Amino acid sequence: MTQAPTLLQQIRALVRQRQGIPFNGYMQLCLYAPGLGYYMRPRRRIGAQGDFFTSSSVHRLFGRLIARQLQQMAELIDGPFTLVEQGAGEGHLALDILDALQQSWPDLYERITYRLIEISPDNRDRQAALLQTHSTRVSWCGEQELAPFRGCFLSNELLDAFPVAVVEKRQGQLLEVYVVEQQDRLVEQLRPARPEVVQHFARQGLQPAEGCRAEAALGVSCWLEGVAARLQQGFVLTIDYGYPAAELYAPFRRQGTLLCYQRHQASDNPYQQPGEQDITAHVDFSLLQLEGERLGLETLYFERQYRFLMALGFIEELLELQRQACDAQQACALRLTLKNLILPDGGMGDTFKVLIQGKNVGQPALLCQRPIHAISLAATAGDRC
C-alpha cells in the first residue's frame, strides 16, 4: 500500500503547482486540511495536557456567568430559545452553561435548544461524550444547515482561528505574504496585495503603518453575513482576544499579532511542523461592528472580559464558592485560579473582549452593563491571595 502524503508534502505540492499560495491558504491547510489539519485529527488541544487554555477551561464559573446573561436575553424573546455555539472545542462551555441553566433556571432549560456547529470530527466526538447528560437539549448541524432561529449565537475563541492574509506596508504599497518553496524549504515572498485584501482595509479607512505587518481575516464578513441571515431575533455574543482596528493596526504593533501555540509555548514561526501547532491572530472587533451594522446587527455592548464577568456577578459567585471550600488553602487556590479570568495588563481579563450585537431586540439594559461601582467593596474583603 502506498503511504498517504503528509500535510507538509501536500502543502509543498500545492505551492509548486500554483507557484506560491497566499498565507491564508497556507493557514487554512495547516488548521483545517481534512484528516491532517491541527483541528481535524485527534489530539489534546485544550488544558494542561494540550497546547493552550481557554476561559472555559479555567473554571465552570465562566459558563455560569454567561448563562446568567443568556437567561436575561431569553426573557426578551417569546417562545422557544435557540442557543447556537460554533467552535465549541471539547464542549466544556456548553456543559457549564447547560448545568447552570438546569440548576438555577429550569424553565429556560426546558425551553432551550442548544445547537453546536463543529467541523472537527475529533471535537464533535468529545462534545457528544461530554454532553451525554443533556442529550435531549443538544444537537449538531453544519454551518449551512442551520435553520433560521430566535435566540443567541455564541462563540468563544472561534474567530482568532480564522485563516488570515498577512500584509506588509513598504514604500506606501500594501504587499501580501505568499508562501513559496526555495531549496526544499517553505519561505515567504512579498507580492502586491490581492484586490480583496486591499478592499478589506479600505472598508475601515485603515492600513498598517509603513514597515509594519498586519493580518486580515477575509472570511469574517462572509461568516457574519451567514449568522445575521439566520438570526431572526436575538443576539450575537462574541468572546475572543483582539482589539479595535485603530489599536490592532497601531504603528507600535510592527509584527502584527500572528502567533503559534504548541504545548503552551508561543512561537512566531508558522512554518515549523504544519498541522502540529495552533496558528492564531487577534480579532478585529471594529470590523465585526462595522459589518454588523450593515447587516442589521446593532452593537449593544463592547467591553473587556473582566468588566463583563464582574458585572454578571463574578465577585458574588467567588464568595459563594469560597464559603463552600473545605479549608482556607482550598479557598486560596480557588481565588488564584479564578483570577486568571479577570487579570488585567495583558491577561485574559484585559486581552479578551466581549461583543454583544442585537437584532430586533431594541436597546435592552443588559445585565453585563452593570457598572463596577455598583459592586459592593465589602465583597472583596478577606482576599489575600
Model confidence pLDDT, tens digit, residues 20-41: 999 999 999 999 999 999 998 8
**Mean pLDDT value of segment 257-286:** 91
Per-residue pLDDT averaged across 12-22, rounded? 96
pLDDT the model gives residue 381: 44
The larger pLDDT score, comparing residue 91 to residue 53, is at: 91
Lowest mean pLDDT among 92-106, 117-131, 231-245, 336-350: 336-350
Asked if 227 contacts 220 with a C-beta cutoff of 8 angstroms, the reply is no
Query: What sign results for the dihedral spanned by CA atoms 120, 121, 124, 125?
Result: negative
Listing DSSP states for 292-347 in one string gives HHHTT-EEEEEEEHHHHHHHTTHHHHHHHHHHHSSSHHHHHHHHHHHHTTT--TTS
pLDDT of residue 371: 87
Model confidence at 46, pLDDT cuts 50, 70, 90, reads low
Residue 384 has pLDDT above 60, yes or no: no
- Rounded distance between C-alpha atoms, residue 179 and residue 189, angstroms: 6
Least confident of 34-43, 95-104, 274-283: 34-43
Confidence of residue 82 (pLDDT cuts 50, 70, 90): very high
| Predicted pLDDT of residue 106 | 97
At residue 382, the pLDDT reads 46
Q: Please give the average per-residue pLDDT across 288-304, as a whole number.
A: 97
Please tell me the distance from the alpha carbon of residue 187 to that of residue 179, in angstroms, as a whole number. Answer: 6
pLDDT at 313 over 60: yes
Does position 379 have pLDDT exceeding 60, yes or no? no
Statement: residue 349 has pLDDT above 80:
no
Give 383's pLDDT tier (boundaries 50, 70, 90): very low
What tens digit of pLDDT does each residue of 54-78 get? 655 556 889 999 999 999 999 999 9
| pLDDT at position 260 | 94
| Backbone dihedral angles phi then psi of residue 259, each to the nearest 5 degrees | -140, 155
Nearest 5°: CA angle at 137, between 134 and 138?
Answer: 85
Q: What is the pLDDT of residue 204?
A: 84
Place of cell 485560579: 337
Read off the pTM.
Answer: 0.89
pLDDT-based confidence at 210, cuts 50/70/90? Answer: very high
Per-residue pLDDT, averaged over 125-154, amounts to: 96
The whole-number pLDDT of residue 296 equals 97
- 190 has a pLDDT exceeding 80: yes
pLDDT attached to residue 52: 53
Pair 157, 45: CB distance under 8 Å: no
Mean pLDDT of 80-89: 95
1 pLDDT more than 50: no
**pLDDT, averaged across the chain:** 89
Residues in the chain: 385
| pLDDT of residue 160 exceeding 90 | yes
Contact 301, 309 (CB under 8 A): no
**Closest Cα to residue 45, out of 280, 347, 277?**
277
